[in-house]
Chain A
């Protein structure tokens, strides 16, 4: 099962480190990362991950990432890839 993680917020040191640390703890494999800085200081990252061998619950991992985002001022979404495929591909 694959999921898309999006992280948007004010750029700060250690965002990627902190997000990937949580993913590694859950044994979630990162397949691809794309990251850019919008309008000079907005950090935007899209990750494609494989959760096939996740250690623990998908929803717990999503909640932990969301909690990290809320604490640090990032908008973090974790969604199964199917949503985007359904909406944007025929």
Chain B
């Protein structure tokens, strides 16, 4: 007979049925380095052919695993080599052609997002980086499934403040180009500091140049499961809270590891990493904010929130790390405002502000994510928000990211609906005082002293 206890079996069923336990994404990383050419049509054809061939069975394989194991796999996605590397001979208009080819390949394989319309400019621009970044507004406005990211800083290289300034402008242009959908295009663009090369989560996924030809990276989820486990230890001390989260994260991650191994075996692809993440969805009961509130906070965003999130993030990693052979990606709790019912409620009450979110990003996995700001927010203010967030990443040797949506025509107090996993968000206030002269300086912020570790 099986060595399993009945309680364990029923616990798993309960997690899957009532607590939104799922594998959030299977992401296939595909290197496009061999698609290089100075003929734009040839590059478009090569990337389309390579992606559709390598990922031909990705979606059906994911669905088959779902059926056999009874584990929902919410997203099947693709990440590719940062496209700016292929874009060196090309103009911004050509880069839009590359974007359309990638989007077409994504549609042909059936994935819902493809990431990698990306540039890494933390120390400076190549020709291809300039062309690609200039093409981002048009490329994302014309495509459905394509995601873009730009890395503007690292702990090792410092911060490229010219790129920071430019990204403020790009975000504004992209919002204007997708104004009919409240600036939706900006939900597909992430500005990073210390971007990981093996991140399976969108919109920031790309397949770094240090990665193999293809790889399977898996992102797990499970805020609902953690919330439920904590309900059972109400009033207990923080040692107990931490232990409870660790045990839960272990189980969730083991499931992710199983799916990652099985998917890479079936797709004849190398197993990359499991991303130990708590990724919320807008569904009720699948919120990171409510976990923090379960710890004893009246509303996410009030005093104590940063400490609660620090404990949560650390315990998720400690529990998860033993459950998988390779950890990577972003690994930690996510706090995307529009994708988390508890965060939305807290932001609507005015308790969860951008300043508090910034503090929270010092202790969790990503950054200022899916935050809607007024449409008249100046590009320089957005750039300054990016600079603040990147500075946190650079100094603390961690990944930070910014995904802001300056919703055209929208004002504080209004609400924007994106639908699906991207949810909806209240327009949150930003400081009105100008950062123009600061952002206009340009140049590079040098790498911090602790980058000199050799």
Contact = CB atoms under 8 A, between A and B. Distances in A.
A3 B370 CA distance: 40
A11 interface: no
A75 B18 CA distance: 12
Interface in B54-107: 64, 67-71
A58 B70 CA distance: 12
A28 interface: no
Interface in A1-53: 2, 4, 6, 8, 31-32, 34, 44, 46, 48
A88 B4 contact: yes
A83 B4 contact: no
B68 A79 contact: yes
A83 B251 CA distance: 10
Given A4-B9, A83-B12, A48 B70 contact: no
Contacts of B251: 87-88
B452 interface: no
The contact size tier of chain B is 20 to 34
A89 B285 CA distance: 27
Contacts of A79: 68-71
B67 A59 contact: yes
A6 B13 CA distance: 8
B69 A80 contact: yes
A81 to B, nearest CB: 6
B141 to A, nearest CB: 40
Given A2-B2, A4-B2, A81-B2, A75 B17 contact: yes
B5 interface: yes
Contact of B1 (A48, A75, A85): A48
A70 interface: no
A63 B4 CA distance: 24
Chain B, interface SS category = helix
Contact of A32 (B2, B254, B258): B2
B433 interface: no
Nearest to A4: B9
Interface in B11-29: 11-13, 16-17
Given A6-B10, A86-B257, A87-B12, A78 B70 contact: yes
Contacts of B16: 77
Contacts of A83: 12, 69-71, 255, 258
A46 B9 contact: yes
Contacts of A82: 69, 258
B8 interface: yes
Contacts of A48: 1-2
Most chain-B Cβ atoms within 10 A of its Cβ — which of A77, A83, A87, A88? A87
A6 B14 CA distance: 11
B249 to A, nearest CB: 12
Interface string A51-82: 00000001100110000000000010111111
Q: Which one of B6, B11, B12 has the greatest number of beta carbons of chain A within 10 Å?
A: B12
A86 B254 contact: yes
A88 B255 CA distance: 10
B260 to A, nearest CB: 11
A89 to B, nearest CB: 7
Nearest to B1: A32
B3 interface: yes
A35 to B, nearest CB: 10
B68 A77 contact: no
Nearest to B8: A88
Nearest to A90: B322
Contacts of B1: 31-32, 48
- Chain B CB within 10 A, most for which of A44, A59, A84, A85: A84
Contact of B255 (A2, A4, A86): A86
Given A48-B1, A86-B258, A88-B12, A62 B67 contact: yes
Contacts of B10: 6, 44, 46
Contacts of A44: 10
A85 B257 CA distance: 12
Contacts of A85: 3-4
Enumerate the 7 nearest inter-chain pairs by beta-carbon distance, A residue then B residue, closest first.
Answer: A79-B70, A88-B8, A86-B258, A86-B254, A59-B67, A87-B251, A32-B1
Given A83-B71, A85-B3, A86-B255, 8 more contacts: A2-B2, A6-B13, A48-B2, A79-B69, A83-B258, A86-B254, A88-B11, A88-B12
Interface of B: 1-6, 8-13, 16-17, 64, 67-71, 251, 254-255, 257-258
24 contacts: A4-B9, A6-B9, A6-B10, A59-B68, A77-B13, A79-B68, A80-B68, A80-B69, A82-B69, A83-B69, A83-B70, A83-B255, A83-B258, A84-B2, A84-B4, A84-B8, A84-B9, A86-B257, A87-B12, A87-B254, A88-B5, A88-B11, A88-B251, A89-B3
